[in-house]
Amino acid sequence: MKNTVSERIPEISGRLSFRTKLGYGVASIADATLYDFVASFFLFFLSDVAGISPAFGGTIIFIAVVWDAITDPLIGTWSDRTKSKYGKRRPFLLGSAIPLGISVVLLFTVVGFEGMAKNMYYLAMAMILWLSYTCFNIPYYALGASLTSDNDERTRLSSIRQVFNYVGLFCASALPSFVIGFFIETGKPEETAWLYAAIIIGLIITITILITWRTTRGKEIIREEEEHSNSIIKDIMEVLRLKSYILIILASLFYAISYALLTSDILFFTTYILGVGEMQASLLFVTIVIAGIILSALLGPIAVKFDKRTVFIVLVTFSALVMIAMKFIGISTLNGAIVYMAMYSFGSAAYWTLIYALIYDVTEVDEFKSGRRREGVIVSYYSFFIKLGGAIAAQVAGLILEVSGYNPDAVEQTPETLDAILSLQTLYPGIFMLLCAIMIMLFPITRPRYQALTAALELKRQGKEYSTEGFEELL
């Protein structure tokens, strides 16, 4: 059997140095900072600061993600086929760092346009931002699969990366809430306070991406293939025929809807149900960050010992049931909301810590079946479904608020509106988080099957005889 793959840097396919893991993880700050800042604040910014209706704000977010459906697979395939002495993925990190920082500032700038011109400005900025994010996000996470092929090492890498991700969540949520509240209390106009927060966010994004670009130099495993597909559509269709991949992207879609419903509703929830301002609301984000950092650090070794798939299912299911229950129990105090966010963090930390380790396992299934490494394509559709879920949630949240009678100029909202805000914070995201856990229950890549697969894959790479015994379900 002919060997079609050769590793250019085989010595790093196993254990990674702690420095490499840290260097790779730093850019996760940029990823979480950008994504969570937009997910948590953009709909609120559009409706309460820029003066755009919640329904049309949701439409802006949705259209931008439809545009992203075109760019995601293109960028993923482009990064798969890139040939450079600097690697396949790292050049994209360098090229996206500055545009991403600038675009987030422009997105959160209040402009003097009126009517449709204002709407078109924010739509254009949203499309530019997601294109810049795609050029960073997909190659960055595909790079993680190219640093090591060791199953447990990937889990450890994901655990460290997720600790940085929660630092990014702090930068995206608690920090802006504090900055905006601080400048408003010092007499700055509201739009100026938002602009200052966006500038800080943009600097954090650019700097952390450049750090990872520098520290991962020479660490990427480059496998040169003898044959390449000439069709992007063929690559996509082959990947979408993998059962394990379909279940991963469905789980990710459901989680993204859950996550975006909760985060886009937080400021509405704290303002109208808890009756607190931005600075007090930042305590909820701080709770998620602190709990997430602690849990992410613990989840790496726990998932290595007990299998990441099992740990994922248990913790995500736990948080989902808590969220659904709190709709009927109710949350009326800031302290109660803090406890709620701590319980939610079990599932959130499990998802963000372990999902990429699960996705990376799919790349070996794909390589075994196709003979090609397509991390970029695989990450691209995962990334698209995450954004699609966020867009669906923003559209749904905007419509629910509008139908319930939400009025941004009112000091107090109607009982119907308050009930809708509570449901957006508890029941609806809880249901979708439970659906996420169910998809991973059906996910067929277990530790024994993966180990059997990778052993056979190594023999296949060397042109030796191999058997599919022990992992037939994956094919």
Closest to 168 measured CA to CA, from 143, 131, 191, 136: 136
**Per residue in 92-103, is it b (16+ CB within 10 Å) or e — as a string?**
bbebbbebbbeb
- Confidence band for 342, pLDDT divided at 50, 70 and 90: very high
Question: For 144-161, what is each residue's pLDDT tens digit?
Answer: 878 887 777 888 888 888
Those residues whose C-beta lies under 8 Å from the C-beta of residue 270, and which sit 6 or more positions away, are: 276, 277, 280, 281, 284, 334, 337
What residues does each domain of the chain span?
16-221+231-443
Across 249-274, average pLDDT: 90
Residue type, 244: S
Those residues whose C-beta lies under 8 Å from the C-beta of residue 415, and which sit 6 or more positions away, are: none
Check: CB of residue 110 under 8 Å from CB of residue 195: yes
What's the confidence (pLDDT) of residue 439?
96
Which stretch of DSSP H or E encloses residue 224? strand 223-225
Question: For 277-306, what is each residue's pLDDT tens digit?
Answer: 767 777 887 888 889 889 988 888 898 888
Across 336-357, average pLDDT: 92
Question: For 160-208, what is each residue's pLDDT tens digit?
Answer: 888 898 888 888 877 888 888 889 889 999 999 999 999 999 999 999 9
The CATH architecture one would assign to domain 16-221+231-443 is Up-down Bundle (1.20)
Across 81-102, average pLDDT: 88
Check: CB of residue 345 under 8 Å from CB of residue 296: no
The DSSP string of 129-193 is HHHHHHHHHHHHHHHHHHH---HHHHHHHHHHHHHHHHHHHHHHTHHHHHHHHHHHHTT--HHHH
- Confidence band for 311, pLDDT divided at 50, 70 and 90: very high
Phi, psi torsion values for 224, nearest 5 degrees: -90, 125
Residue type, 227: E
Would the pLDDT of 223 be above 80?
A: no
Q: pTM, whole model, 2 decimals?
A: 0.75
Locate 416 and state its tokens.
């119907």
What's the confidence (pLDDT) of residue 2?
36
Cα 353 to Cα 195, 201, 226, 312, 428: the distances in Å are 31, 23, 34, 9, 23
